[in-house]
Amino acid sequence: MSPVKTRASAADRGSGRGNTSGSNKKKTKQADKASLKDSQDGDDFYGMRELKHQLAGMNLMLKDTIGDGNCLFRACADQLMGSDKDHGLLRQEVCLYLEENADHFKSFLDDETVEAHVAHMRKNGTYGGNVELVAIARLKKVDVKVYQPGFIYVIEGIHSKKGGLAVGQRPTLHVAYHSWEHYSSIRNIEGPHDGLPEINPRIVGQGPLRKLTDKDPPRAIEKEIMKTTGIRDLQKVREKAFT
């Protein structure tokens, strides 16, 4: 049995898609691909338009979350405490929990010991990943709902052998994973935008996402693809890569 209990949303059923948040690779604050600017510049990354549209259909929105290598802890701290300022404290709590439950979490790590993993994870600016999300869910006894473009999954805050409250009965943290390894906190569109988030998803009627046309300027990633491949037809790039 997998040590992580995940539950795919209807958007994922039958798609064959799995958790793409990735194994917990060593990353430092300099390696955070979603930079301060990029983590907040709207639709420039692949999937951002889709994710925003998906969230808006549930009356939800992304909250700007600094991309400094601490984004996972910032997003979860905002969900737990209403602010990301204590992300460092949450990081240390998670590291202690991993240490105290090393026998369980060693099965998550392919190429390093729990001790080595924790020693690196204690450093400010080191990327957190799925291991840390599971630890947060277990430590805080919450579920963590992760939103990706066209895809939602839940990490359950329960030890598979101990039972407990079912999904929907525990508090739930709502975070998004997007823009090439960046996490953001999620808020209701109408608020509150500060303090505890009080997330209340509800279906909002909206039309389909408008497709980009050659009248829309190229996004940064599209420019990079055109530069790398030599393709000059923007619409062809969008048809093959972004639709």
Residue 89 belongs to what domain range?
Answer: 24-210
Question: Structure tokens of 194?
Answer: 């500060």
DSSP state of 227: H
* Stated pTM of the model: 0.77
Q: Total domain count for the chain?
A: 1
Model pLDDT for residues 180-229, shown as the tens digit of each residue = 789 999 999 999 999 999 999 999 988 888 888 778 888 877 888 889 99
Model pLDDT for residues 121-133, shown as the tens digit of each residue = 999 999 999 999 9
pLDDT score at 44: 63
Q: Is 93 or 49 the better-scoring residue by pLDDT?
A: 93
Q: Helix 234-241 to helix 220-229 angle, to the nearest 10 degrees?
A: 100
CATH number for 145 = 3.90.70.80
Query: Is residue 78 a part of any domain in this protein?
Result: yes
Query: Is residue 229 a part of any domain in this protein?
Result: no
**84 within 8 A of 141, measured Cβ to Cβ:** no
Query: Is residue 98 a part of any domain in this protein?
Result: yes
